[in-house]
Amino acid sequence: MDKKIISLWSLLSLVMFIICDLLMGGNAQDLIKTIIVAVVLYLLLIIGGLLKWRLAYHFLLFVVGIYTLAMIRIVFIFATQSHSGVSVLAVVFAVLGIIVNLLWYRIAAKQIKSDYVRIVKKNVKK
């Protein structure tokens, strides 16, 4: 799979998380910190993957998983607490974000597998 496609889906995943985070509201300083951490994590690992850093996509797999759980939490809060203050728009973007992340997993799985095989073959030759 083309790494550029994985990178584009990763950026879409990041954008979906940022939108959900903004729609959930909260303290402005906390929002800024959360967004900065997310952007740094995603961009560092995307660039690492494009530069053929060995475990970049494996770590990105973990990061996408964590942010998927955050989106699942938004849906869960909306479903269980009627007075939670979570907007329907936030839930819609959270569901779309979950779908984007699941598609990211499907797209990235082949690249992660080929990276793993390459790493194992390289280490076996030593």
Q: What is the DSSP string of 24-68?
A: H---HHHHHHHHHHHHHHHHHHHHHHHTT-TTHHHHHHHHHHHHH
Query: What is the number of domains present in the chain?
Result: 1
The pLDDT of residue 77 is: 87
The pLDDT of residue 126 is: 63
Give the residue ranges of the chain where pLDDT is below 50: none
Model confidence, pTM: 0.84
d(CA 79, CA 33): 27
| Host domain of residue 107 | 3-125
The pLDDT of residue 43 is: 95
The pLDDT of residue 100 is: 96
